[in-house]
Amino acid sequence: MKGIFTLGLSLLSVAQALPSAKASARADGTLFSIGGKTGYVAGTNSYWIGFLTNNKDVDTVLDHIHTSGLKILRVWAFNDVNAKPPSDTVWFQLLSSAGSQINTGADGLQRLDYVVQSAEKRGVKLIINFVNNWNDYGGMNAYVKAFGGTKEGWYTNSQAQEQYKKYIKAVISRYANSSAVFAWELANEARCHGCSTDVIYKWATDISAYIRSLDSTHMITLGDEGFGLPGDTSYPYGYSEGVDFVKNLGIKDLDFGTFHMYPDSWGVPYSFSDGWIKNHAEACKAANKPCLLEEYGAYARCDIQAPWQQYSLSLANDGMAADMFWQWGDQLSSGPSPNDGNTIYYGSANATCLVTDHVKDIDAASKS
């Protein structure tokens, strides 16, 4: 999701102690199997949870997600800077041509360590994302500032890719034995405007194979918006952002497909949504891989989003495996978590509709 805001938060120290455990999430045809149970599941996104410095806040959020019946949480495992921020700010990686630094300290990846530990205890599965297409929390442009070139050239910039791989290795080495990991994700909403679709395809092929060499157990996914489908040249179906959803689904080391849905931001009517879901489901079914509606939002309108959930669930045997709304909201020790207009706050009427009722529908469908 574009347009999130950086959090400036105080630091607390946390010890790293992740137990060894085998992955309990995998692809099973066009569905996911979690803990030995195959079926449609629901989840959500929290880009900010890894930047919280109050452990009780992390536990509260994950308690609420778990007790709500959501199975998957997508988090940012990136927080890239080009200069060291103030001492009370969390950052994960300093990018510089003079020498980059991965922050494994108490104001660095130890914050993410605690999220993983807390998720393990509650059985919440995490999609862990390595870099942002957008400038929030550094993103690809932070690499460009450090190593030169252009945003579109990031995918083939040897210095940028070398450091990106170093960062991936640093993160995976911390959590490869964690049962909390649902999947490793290459990027948030990867785009290469005006590029041949071969650019992202070749990059995703290379990076997913690299991740597989580091961890053969957990799933891997791209994290794209699902652009590029045959039969319609209009936005967002076209290939102008350098993404070919069907071609990328064929990459051997990508275990499932992702797509996002924001009719308001994309300037398309809400009636667009069913077709968007159906077309991706059909592509995933043809590839025999699960389809995850990984982000969707309509300015927190239950009456709009609930039918999307119901339609996606109706395709559980035809390509759709899960949906994850953007984004989770909760009350933290410092006040409400960030609200970008799409936030669904725990305990709200929207949460009853889009979380409680949706989970009940999923449970009922699994028994029918």
**CA distance linking residue 12 with residue 294, whole number of Å:** 31
The pLDDT value recorded for residue 279 is 98
> 189, 225, 241, 294: which is the annotated catalytic residue?
189
Residue 294 appears among annotated catalytic residues:
no
**pLDDT < 70: residue spans in the chain:** 1-23, 300
The pLDDT value recorded for residue 4 is 43
The pLDDT value recorded for residue 218 is 98
The pLDDT value recorded for residue 368 is 78
Q: What is the pTM of this model?
A: 0.94
Query: In 3D, which of 78, 170, 168 has the Cα closest to residue 132?
Result: 78
The pLDDT value recorded for residue 1 is 65
Residues 95-106: tens digit of each pLDDT: 999 999 999 999
Sheet with strand 37-39: strands edge to edge: 25-28, 31-34, 37-39
**CA distance linking residue 134 with residue 187, whole number of Å:** 10
**CA distance linking residue 57 with residue 99, whole number of Å:** 34
* Residues in contact with 354: Cβ distance below 8 Å, sequence separation at least 6, in sequence order: 302, 305, 306, 309, 325, 344
Q: Tokens in use for 233?
A: 């040249």
Residues 232-262: tens digit of each pLDDT: 889 999 999 999 999 999 999 999 999 999 9
The pLDDT value recorded for residue 270 is 94
279 to each of 81, 209, 286, 287, 293, how far by Cα in Å? Answer: 38, 27, 11, 13, 12
> 120, 185, 241, 295: which is the annotated catalytic residue?
295
The pLDDT value recorded for residue 16 is 35
Residue 336 belongs to what H/E stretch?
A: strand 335-336
Name the CATH superfamily housing domain 42-366.
Glycosidases (3.20.20.80)
Q: Which residues lie across from 44 on neighbouring strands? A: 73, 325
Query: In 3D, which of 21, 94, 102, 42 has the Cα closest to residue 305?
Result: 42
> Contacts from 270-274 at CB under 8 Å and sequence distance 24+?
270/298, 270/304, 273/307, 273/308, 273/311, 274/308, 274/311
Residue 295 appears among annotated catalytic residues:
yes
Q: What is the DSSP letter of 89?
A: S
* Residues in contact with 9: Cβ distance below 8 Å, sequence separation at least 6, in sequence order: 51, 52, 53, 88, 89, 90, 334
**CA distance linking residue 253 with residue 235, whole number of Å:** 28
Q: Is 170 helix (H, G, I), strand (E, B) or coil?
A: helix
Residues 145-204: tens digit of each pLDDT: 999 999 999 999 999 999 999 999 999 999 999 999 999 999 999 999 999 999 999 999
